[in-house]
Copies of this chain bind each other. A is one copy, B any other.
Amino acid sequence: MTAVSKAVILAVGSEMLSPTRQDTNSLYITDVLNQLGIAVAYKSVVADNLAELQAQIHHAVSRHHVLIITGGLGPTDDDLTREAVAGQLGLPLREDAGLVDVIRARFAARGIPMPEVNRRQAQVPEGATVLHNPRGSAPGLLIDWAGAVIAALPGPPREMQPMMNGPVRERLAAFAGGVRLMRRILRVAGRSESRVEELAQPVYSAWLKEAPPIETTILATPGFIELHLSTQVTREAEGAAALAAAVGQLEGRLGADIVSTDGQTVEQVVGDMLRARTWRIALAESCTGGLAASRLTDVAGSSDYVERGYVVYSNRAKTELLGVPDALIAEHGAVSEPVARAMADGALAHAAADVAVAITGIAGPGGGTEDKPVGTVWMAVALASPRETRTLRCRFLGSRELIKTFAAVTALDLVRRRLLDADWDLDWARR
């Protein structure tokens, strides 16, 4: 069962050809297309230039049967998508009187007369279906042309997305013949990409020959390795069962290194575990500067289980707030096993918490030594009951921001492992 058609995505707008801006609409559009079993052959970002845009439309429709264009539907002279589509496909452009009324009414509702320039947005290529836009003045266009489906959608994501996931998706579903792409995302912590590959590849390589075949891709994100499993099926139950069996096999290989099998973040997973136990957590952070607490509180409702955090950047703060003895810092240094342990124990003792996690390390770029190079981070997790504290030394590589991120998410992962009573044998710790 393969994709019946391939698609081209075209984002129109010179501003997306600068060194600081990206097209992001294509990611959403790709997701919808893939769900229908339609792969993307290529995607382009093109300047607001009529000749360039028409050449792109020509290239796309001469090779493929699905073309999704975003942007260039505004009211100004820079907005050329209507003209380019109509001109390239040989469809006369005519003003749609009903559409003028819709746009005029939109302005009237805000007490503004419609600027004359907005009449341009009511120009419709002959035979095109108009996609109404409740969130903006630019209508979308859906065109059947010589066996191809062409959609022109507004650039703002909140205007584009309902059209793409609504009428365009419906039109393309017929095109795709009921094929549906289903996915599962596994998030793995504590392992290098090559180690995950080594463990998972013997399992997932066999899936390509099964029915339905499952494709697996590995993606490294800061702190995690993601396994993306996908399969194209016509019956949803068949796809769900195949993916569930595949996930089960990976769980057998990767065990507690798997943080989630449904795309959940480690902060969501830890949050759910804490809520289920009605436990509260305290954090004691040095080199991460509050990042672990911030990640944990990115989850809505996290006030149910986040008690407090101590950002003990100075040694004085470590001593005053957490009771870490001066002498301990003097003897072992602030980045050390005893200090990490004392920080976690101190947070647990001073806060009304059931679990505490501590992080102390060298984020760099300065401050490293031969014994404790940049990226060295000591972590500790303290439990109130049973009263026990475990520690781990990690070594992260990368920029200051990356080391902070690795340390923050690894600390949250250690809380997860401690609550599961899983092992702490992380690749980070072996460097």
The residues of A with any CB-CB pair to B shorter than 8 Å are: 15, 17-22, 24, 27-28, 30-31, 34, 39-47, 49, 52, 55-56, 59, 63, 217, 219, 228, 280, 283, 285, 287-294, 296-298, 300-303, 306-314, 316-317, 321, 351-352, 363-366, 400-401, 404
Contacts and interface: CB of A to CB of B under 8 A. Distances in A.
A296 B363 CA distance: 13
A289 B59 CA distance: 50
Contacts of A27: 19-20, 22
A290 B309 CA distance: 8
Interface of A is mostly: mixed
A30 B17 contact: yes
A41 B45 contact: no
A311 B308 contact: yes
Nearest to A22: B22
Given A22-B27, A34-B19, A365 B307 contact: no
A293 B289 contact: yes
Contacts of A40: 17, 47
A402 to B, nearest CB: 11
Contacts of A404: 294, 297-298
A320 to B, nearest CB: 8
Nearest to A350: B320
One complex includes copies of this chain to the number of 2
A22 B419 CA distance: 35
Given A22-B24, A44-B44, 14 more contacts: A15-B217, A19-B31, A42-B56, A283-B290, A287-B297, A289-B293, A291-B291, A297-B363, A301-B366, A302-B313, A306-B311, A306-B314, A307-B316, A308-B311
Contacts of A301: 366
A272 to B, nearest CB: 17
A49 B8 CA distance: 14
A297 B290 contact: yes
A275 to B, nearest CB: 14
A285 B296 CA distance: 14
Contacts of A363: 297
A196 B118 CA distance: 24
A27 to B, nearest CB: 5
Contacts of A290: 283, 285, 289-294, 297, 309, 311
Contacts of A316: 307-308, 352
Contacts of A17: 30, 39-43
Contacts of A294: 288-291, 294, 404
B42 A43 contact: no
Contacts of A311: 283, 290, 293, 297, 306, 308-311
B219 A20 contact: yes
Contacts of A314: 280, 303, 306-308, 352
A193 to B, nearest CB: 13
A300 B313 CA distance: 13
Nearest to A281: B313
A168 B219 CA distance: 30
22 contacts: A17-B30, A17-B39, A17-B43, A18-B217, A19-B28, A20-B219, A22-B27, A39-B47, A42-B44, A42-B47, A288-B294, A289-B296, A294-B294, A298-B404, A307-B313, A307-B316, A308-B310, A308-B313, A308-B314, A308-B316, A308-B321, A321-B321
